A and B are shown apart, each in its own frame.
Chain A
Amino acid sequence: MSILIYAEKQNGKVSKGAKELASYARAYADKTGDQVVAVGFSLENPEELFQYGVNKVLNVTNDKLKDFNAFAYSHVIKEAVDKENSKMVLISSSNDSIYAGPIIAQYIDAGYVSNVISLPEDSDHFVVKRKVFTSKGIAYTAILTDKKLLRISKNSFGIAEKAVDGSVEEFNPPVDLSVYDEYKVVNVEKVTGKVPLTDADIIVSAGRGLKGPENWGMIEELADVLGAATACSKPVADLGWRPHQEHVGQTGKQVAPNLYIAVGISGAIQHLAGVNGSKYMVVINNDPEAPFFKAADYGIVGDAFEVVPKLIEKLKAYKANQ
């Protein structure tokens, strides 16, 4: 038997999300003795997955399947499940995988659980923990079907290197390509050279405390120094100070970086719901009563316009000495 992961690519290469899935699958396979198999589409470096415990990579090389199509990709994943006798399938929480998830679940007849944050518990039936109520709760969820599909919450398990001997196989099952005609991608706009918010290890986020969009220069500079992505609170996106893609919170993006720095954000419950998966949180706010201080690891009471420029200088000096 095997555990199958859908290994997404980023700029042609194995994505961060795929490495996390591989690490999760390896940790579970070490208990069950299963093989870990990955399926990818035109991956340029499939061998890299061996580092994270993948025994076999099925690499689809058909050029017509190079670009994501939820139906075509789900079909290929189903073929891989059949070929490898997979009982468990893992996908990441990227937009593409969230999109394909319910389709895969239907194709392989699996019980499907999203936002999974733990390995299955050792018990006589299959139970995983998942985030519910937008991270305000955790639900222990049993999957009652023979086949299981898990969507792993980003950065909840982490990436662990555990090299194994692996092999790469070209994999080109027959697929009905007419789905690409019924669903033609006519335009793709992508911000290049920037870390996507939901993949960022560090996020610098700011709120209404910054008083206006003209003051975001220092936030961007702080993000640059740290190699971080920038984000914002809901009011800031609603006011049009920042693009809505940057809004993190209950109705915006859910993020789980290693470090989240919040500047001038009070920390309303809806904002915290979107960021409380972060490993560490730093809060900079001039109001010592701001609720965010109750949820953070490190806090600084002070004026953002004074603290942030100083912090940038200190960090530059620190980086220069590294």
Chain B
Amino acid sequence: MKILLLMSSVPDTTSKINFTDGDTKFDENGIQWVINPHDEFALTKAMQLKEKHGAELVVLNVGTAKTEPVIRKVLAIGADRAVRIDVEPTDSYFTAVQIADYINKHPEFDLIMAGKESIDFNGGMVHGMAAEMTNKKFVNAVIGFEMKDGNTVEVSREIEGGKETIETTLPLVIGGQKGLVKEEELRIPNMRGIMMARKKPLEVLPAVEAEVRTKIEKFEKPPVKGSIKMIDKDNLDELIDLLHNEAKVI
């Protein structure tokens, strides 16, 4: 089996978000970059499939050279090789075209795994668009994945208030999330993995021409809450009064 992992390098979850250049750019000053957390669930599942069924695992990233330390981390965790398409992924459609172009030129992948969204721009669309552009089936918000006989797979996805289990076949694109593997199963690189990762191939490809369909004109920070009203723990009637008369939520 051949598995392709679509991976984004994103600011660490504890990052304070600021903007620069007249609020037109994300301020990367002091930011720690990590594997997108939703992609981490997909990566761990990919490693489990590789260990159980045997597979080649290739990680694909669309990004400039600054994403390479994070790509190396994926290699250290156990991916066999990496491909980086050398361009800043500004628009989801543009990024999906880059990925689709790679998949169309390398039709051997049975399973293409991604996180359901990246925690920076939260579009939740690149992997779905790439699936459509390469004419592949696609399941999103995946919280369970098991191989059955031959090409058949059983996939569970989250739905409102529950889960739906689907039987489908490879090739397939999935958008993973929390629940796909257990939190404690998530892998971190060990020293041997880090040493080996240095020697694993990382191929850099130029971007293909593509249309840009959306453009961010400026950023702002969400409005800050007004000052908090403190209520004495022995005066809960005041809270109920505020919720009813001021907030009008009860």
A residues bordering B, Cβ < 8 Å? 10, 70, 94-96, 98-99, 101-103, 105-107, 110-115, 127, 131-145, 182-191, 194, 196-199, 201-202, 226, 237-238, 244-245, 247, 250-252, 258-259, 268-270, 273, 276, 279-283, 293-302, 306-307, 310-311, 314-315, 318
- Check A196–B141 contact: CB distance below 8 A: no
A244 proximity list for chain B (CB < 8 A): 178-179, 183
- Check B229–A299 contact: CB distance below 8 A: yes
Known contacts A186-B167, A251-B178, A294-B228; A140 and B14 CB within 8 A of each other: no
Q: Which of B114-173 contact A (CB under 8 A)?
A: 116, 119-129, 131-133, 137-141, 154, 157-169
| B184 to A, closest residue via Cβ | A238
Q: How many residues of B contact A (CB 8 A)?
A: 79
B236 proximity list for chain A (CB < 8 A): 300, 307, 310-311, 314
The reply on B22 being an interface residue by CB < 8 A is no
How many angstroms between the C-alpha atoms of A98 and B116 in the bound complex? 9
Tell me which of A70, A105, A279 contacts B247 (CB under 8 A): A279
Known contacts A95-B157, A186-B154, A299-B230; A102 and B162 CB within 8 A of each other: no
Nearest Cβ in chain A — how far from B93, in angstroms?
7
The reply on B221 being an interface residue by CB < 8 A is yes
The reply on B70 being an interface residue by CB < 8 A is no
- Main secondary structure on chain B at its contact with chain A? mixed
Nearest Cβ in chain B — how far from A147, in angstroms?
10
Q: Which of B52-60, B73-81, B238-246 contacts A (4 or more CB under 8 A)?
A: B238-246
A188 proximity list for chain B (CB < 8 A): 159, 162-165
B162 proximity list for chain A (CB < 8 A): 188-191
Known contacts A188-B165, A302-B233; A141 and B217 CB within 8 A of each other: yes
5 A–B contacts from the bound complex (CB under 8 Å): A142-B214, A184-B168, A186-B167, A201-B249, A301-B230
- Check A142–B215 contact: CB distance below 8 A: yes
- Check B249–A138 contact: CB distance below 8 A: no
Known contacts A136-B17, A299-B230; A114 and B165 CB within 8 A of each other: no
- Check A96–B233 contact: CB distance below 8 A: no
Given pairs A114-B122, A133-B11, A297-B247, 7 additional interface contacts (CB within 8 A) = A70-B140, A95-B140, A114-B123, A143-B213, A245-B179, A251-B13, A251-B38
The reply on B196 being an interface residue by CB < 8 A is no
A198 proximity list for chain B (CB < 8 A): 160
Most buried by A among B133, B158, B163, B243: B243
| A259 to B, closest residue via Cβ | B249
- Main secondary structure on chain A at its contact with chain B? mixed
| B225 to A, closest residue via Cβ | A295
B residues bordering A, Cβ < 8 Å? 11, 13-14, 16-17, 19, 26, 37-38, 92-93, 96, 116, 119-129, 131-133, 137-141, 154, 157-169, 178-179, 183-184, 212-222, 225-226, 228-233, 236-237, 239-240, 242-244, 247, 249-250
- Check A184–B166 contact: CB distance below 8 A: yes
- Can you list the 6 inter-chain pairs with the closest CB atoms, starting with the nearest? A102-B128, A302-B233, A190-B162, A111-B213, A196-B161, A99-B140
Nearest Cβ in chain B — how far from A230, in angstroms?
13
B249 proximity list for chain A (CB < 8 A): 201-202, 258-259, 279-280
Known contacts A191-B162, A270-B14; A280 and B243 CB within 8 A of each other: yes
- Check B129–A102 contact: CB distance below 8 A: yes
B247 proximity list for chain A (CB < 8 A): 258-259, 279-280, 297
- Check A139–B219 contact: CB distance below 8 A: yes
- Check B215–A300 contact: CB distance below 8 A: no
B232 proximity list for chain A (CB < 8 A): 300
Tell me which of B120, B215, B226 contacts A141 (CB under 8 A): B215
- Check A182–B168 contact: CB distance below 8 A: yes
- Check B37–A251 contact: CB distance below 8 A: yes
| A145 to B, closest residue via Cβ | B213
- Check B228–A293 contact: CB distance below 8 A: yes
